[in-house]
Structure 1
Amino acid sequence: MNSIELFAGCGGLALGIERAGFHNKLLIEIDKNATETLKSNFKHTQIINEDITKIDPSTLEIDSEISLISGGAPCQSFSYAGLRKGIEDARGTLFYDFARFIKFFRPKTFLFENVKGLINHDNGKTLATIINIFSELDYKVEWQLLKAVNYEVAQKRERIFIVGIRNDIYHSLGKYEFPAPIDKYLTLKDVLINVPNSPGAKYPESKKKVLDLVPPGGYWRDLPDDIAKEYMGKSYYLGGGKTGMARRISWDEPSLTLTTSPAQKQTERCHPDETRPFTTREYARIQSFPDNFKFEDYYSHVNDTLEKIYANRNINNLKDFNKSIIDPTKMIFDSFTNNFDKKELIKAEISRQVDKSITNNIGYFHQNFFKYIDGFEVPKAGFDVENHALSIFGEMKNKHNTMNSASSQKTYMKLQQKILKDSNATCYLIEVIAKKSQDINWKCKVDGENFNHDKIRRISIDKFYELTTGDEHAYKKICEWLPIVIFSLNKEKSLNDTSEIILEELKEIDKNFIDSVYKLSYPTYSGFDNLDIKLQQHLPNDI
């Protein structure tokens, strides 16, 4: 049975549908970060990162019958509600696009999920219009409000589920029956056992001091009145229970509905014992995601960078050692600073190679971080970072002093060419380690002539993050999080000493160390098969 999911998010519903026996043929999602998560977890599924309003279903390469279409469009009022114009009643809303796909593919069944508020939205007119449209499309429609806690999920989450059965199927099989609730509720102590390490947000110290006073299962009413008034501000005097404020969840209850931000003041979700929000993996466990489900975020980005660094640290033999072809001349000079100690020479060369690899990977780390900022992309060719909507194009450099004159000229001319072709573009040389925080015209000398342009900028990375996110301290926050994330990943690994192994393999080339290094690097160079180093008698031992 094949399925299509619209508004797929990070894939929670798609995962459940897959586990129910369906094959996800297509997932559509507009958010780029969520799409990266989909790609990591649904490797054999076609995934489209696009605004669904721009997708014509007739252009999709779907060569199989579709049994199910699922998804949940945002809840919106219909300007034509109640006029009974069929699918046209929904034009201008995202539900219209859900209905377009139903009309085109005519699946045997569909599943439309939405927030509880849809039931009474616009005095019930929105739901009535939705049901009418589905009925006009030749489907028998049933709906019910379901609670996640009734179905082995440790979360008090309510959602309306609308199920449609195509009429020919309905007449054969009869009415759809929603699954019966399960009696036992899962609580936090049931699901938060041996949770894998993962990053999580931190409270500001002032907020932490307040939440330290709240017991498990408690909320703002458990605070001293003067502290509650100061913490809640004007909300203290408003009506309603405000039970989400200063809320600490108990081990013996399910979580309240999780929100996209784990530390919002109105919908607090504090850990039962520790005064902190839930971590990424705790969030996932509460929502019933398996531990092997990958979330493409800062955590994953740091983890990927670490894995690449560790992979490149594995210099275990002579083949690894000479992978990029060592520079024997440099090693000869290095020998004077290492007292001709062969083992120390090998270690120094390994350390240099590892450091170079780390530098390269850190450069990619900074560059690829922009994949997680809305509107930005890191193309395989072109500029290092691009935002076509804002007409921003950037080239990144790790250090301000790593560019020689030729490199500077080449980069400047690349930015200049973009400006000439696109008058709306602003181009940036982005410096991770700059002399100072700045966003200035880049003044560059090209073939002896000075050039500068208002739209060719030289910018430090903190200012570029401020420009792209609107947050003055965005880069500071990233830097504060980095050691926490690395520590949580528990990636403390030492570099094995393989110098003895490499020395033994060099001896197989030539018992003389210097000869072996030259022959290793220059095996096809003329005359190097018969070296005759005149100073050999002046060198100690067998150097």
Structure 2
Amino acid sequence: MIFRTAELFSGPGGGAYAAKTSHFVDDKGEEWGFSHAWANEYDPDTVETYKLNILNNPDAKTVYCEDVRKFNLDDDEKLGNIDALIFGFPCNDYSVVGKHKGLEGTYGPLYTYGVHVLKRYQPKVFVAENVGGLTSANQGEAFIKILKAFQDAGYTITPNFYKFEQYGVPQMRHRIIIVGIRNDLAEQGIKFHVPAPTTPNPEDYKTAGEALTVPPIPADAPNNEVTRHNKKTIEMLKYIPEGGNAWSLSIPEELRLNVKGAKLSNIYKRLTFNKPSYTVTGSGGGGTHMYHWKENRALTNRERARLQTFPDDFVFVGGKESVRKQIGMAIPPEGMRHILMAVLKTFAGIEYDSVTPTERLQPEVLFKVSGSEVANLVKH
């Protein structure tokens, strides 16, 4: 079975690339995979990136560049007949970095558009992604409300806190991913299980050094422009050790940043060669672009894309800052692929390595609230 797949908040195609590369043929000769139905994304550069890489067609008419709040989600002729929905609803208001507005923010309520698609078109399965901070927004009430909305749309849900470094991604990227199976199918015995980590032990994690050097990035790779730093920044970087940041005591007084208040740990922070990188983000200005473990410079966008597990021939469209944002906001394809393969195997009736419910849920991290209400939500 090939799942006709729609996407909201598609980004440059991290989820779509994972879907495009998730497929197999079972022992009966039946093919399983995902095919593109339609996608929605509001940023023009990001839409062009998606069309170029996912559909290999810059003129594709099935990727809609429009604010989801103005997008006609009730157009059955264009949007109907889908089997799967993937959506990484915007995380700005749930991130632990920033004001953490949750449901009261501009982006917090956007998950409701995904719920609308689920209710109207009733795909067989959905995969929703957001930051770990979702669990603590609005004192945990936001997460409960969102899970209830997915259930009320007619789905049996399996939320989990995924640590992508445990799934082959060379990056400490932690995300909430919720898989929902339509209730009538769940009642027939189609039950999703969280796939077991492929690299559960820290000594087996793919490292930043390995990701960026094996194989070496080709000299002519796209999106590989090196940032030109001012002289003071270069001098300061010379004193920051591997894994260190702008607050390293080895930096001479005259080169230190004059910053009052909170001192973010990722400012001018170097990677550590033999560990996964810290989280690639799309926000911030100079000082937050991630820094090479040895060379006195920020990472190139291609290096950042490698940490996000995009292949070197995945071309991001737009200026340097636009590309940086696209990469940081994307879902790492390699991490998502493990989840989508588990979805396919679930429907194909093929067993796969998975974690038990007690191993799956991490209350101290995943749920910042308590009570039977939460237990009921995740009892499946």
What corresponds to 1:259 in structure 2? 281
Distance 2:218 2:45 in 1: 22
Aligned counterparts, 1:59-70, within 5 A: 59=75, 61-62=77-78, 65-70=81-86
Q: Report how far residue 229 of structure 1 moved.
A: 8.3
Equivalent of 1:243 in 265, 274, 290: 265
Q: Report how far residue 78 of structure 1 moved.
A: 3.9
Distance 1:143 1:70 in 2: 14
Give 1 or 2: higher helix fraction: 1
Residues 126-151 of structure 1 deviation map (CA, whole Å, 9 limit, x = unaligned): 11011111111111111011111111
What corresponds to 1:5 in structure 2? 7
- Assess if the C-alpha contact under 8 Å between 2:73 and 2:79 holds in 1: no
The one-letter code matched in structure 1 to 2:237 is: L
- Assess if the C-alpha contact under 8 Å between 2:51 and 2:63 holds in 1: yes
Equivalent of 2:109 in 65, 86, 93: 93
Equivalent of 2:292 in 240, 254, 271: 271
The one-letter code matched in structure 2 to 1:207 is: T
Bigger drift between 21-30 and 195-204 goes to 195-204
- Assess if the C-alpha contact under 8 Å between 2:6 and 2:86 holds in 1: yes
The alignment yields a C-alpha RMSD, in angstroms, of: 2.6
- Assess if the C-alpha contact under 8 Å between 1:262 and 1:277 holds in 2: no
- Assess if the C-alpha contact under 8 Å between 1:248 and 1:268 holds in 2: no
Residues 160-217 of structure 1 deviation map (CA, whole Å, 9 limit, x = unaligned): 0011110111112343111111222001222112113321323222111111111212
Distance 1:186 1:224 in 2: 29
Unaligned runs of 5+ in 2: 23-32, 94-101, 323-380
The one-letter code matched in structure 2 to 1:9 is: G
Aligned counterparts, 1:347-358, within 5 A: none
Are residue 215 (structure 1) and residue 241 (structure 2) matched? yes
Are residue 181 (structure 1) and residue 197 (structure 2) matched? yes
Distance 1:101 1:63 in 2: 9
Q: Which runs of 4+ in 1 moved over 4 A?
A: none
Distance 2:282 2:107 in 1: 28
Q: Report how far residue 262 of structure 1 moved.
A: 7.8
Equivalent of 1:23 in 17, 35, 42: 35
The one-letter code matched in structure 2 to 1:188 is: A
- Assess if the C-alpha contact under 8 Å between 1:263 and 1:277 holds in 2: no
Distance 1:4 1:273, change over 3 A: same
Distance 1:227 1:141 in 2: 53
Distance 1:205 1:262 in 2: 21
Please give the secondary structure, in 2, of the residue aligned with 1:172: coil
- Assess if the C-alpha contact under 8 Å between 2:8 and 2:88 holds in 1: yes
The one-letter code matched in structure 2 to 1:246 is: Y
TM-score relative to the length of structure 2: 0.69
The one-letter code matched in structure 2 to 1:215 is: P
Please give the secondary structure, in 1, of the residue aligned with 2:20: helix
What corresponds to 2:157 in structure 1? 141
Percent identity (aligned) = 31
- Assess if the C-alpha contact under 8 Å between 2:172 and 2:278 holds in 1: yes
Distance 1:228 1:246, change over 3 A: farther
Q: Report how far residue 39 of structure 1 moved.
A: 1.6
What corresponds to 1:128 in structure 2? 144
Identify the structure with bigger relative contact order (alpha carbons < 8 Å, sequence gap 6+).
2
Distance 2:300 2:252 in 1: 30
Please give the secondary structure, in 2, of the residue aligned with 1:245: coil
- Assess if the C-alpha contact under 8 Å between 1:5 and 1:69 holds in 2: yes
Are residue 164 (structure 1) and residue 190 (structure 2) matched? no
Distance 2:284 2:260 in 1: 22
- Assess if the C-alpha contact under 8 Å between 2:90 and 2:107 holds in 1: no
Distance 1:51 1:2 in 2: 23
TM-score relative to the length of structure 1: 0.49
Residues 335-387 of structure 1 deviation map (CA, whole Å, 9 limit, x = unaligned): xxxxxxxxxxxxxxxxxxxxxxxxxxxxxxxxxxxxxxxxxxxxxxxxxxxxx
Are residue 199 (structure 1) and residue 211 (structure 2) matched? no
Q: Report how far residue 258 of structure 1 moved.
A: 1.0
Q: Give the length in aligned residue pairs.
A: 285
Equivalent of 1:112 in 85, 104, 128: 128
- Assess if the C-alpha contact under 8 Å between 1:219 and 1:247 holds in 2: yes
Residues 305-337 of structure 1 deviation map (CA, whole Å, 9 limit, x = unaligned): xxxxxxxxxxxxxxxxxxxxxxxxxxxxxxxxx
Distance 1:228 1:246 in 2: 16
Aligned counterparts, 1:478-493, within 5 A: none
Q: Report how far residue 268 of structure 1 moved.
A: 5.3
Q: Report how far residue 92 of structure 1 moved.
A: 8.8
Are residue 293 (structure 1) and residue 308 (structure 2) matched? no
Distance 1:228 1:174, change over 3 A: farther
Please give the secondary structure, in 2, of the residue aligned with 1:54: coil
Distance 2:87 2:114 in 1: 8
Distance 1:172 1:224 in 2: 62
Please give the secondary structure, in 1, of the residue aligned with 2:69: helix
Distance 1:217 1:5, change over 3 A: same
Aligned counterparts, 1:385-400, within 5 A: none
Distance 2:282 2:253 in 1: 27
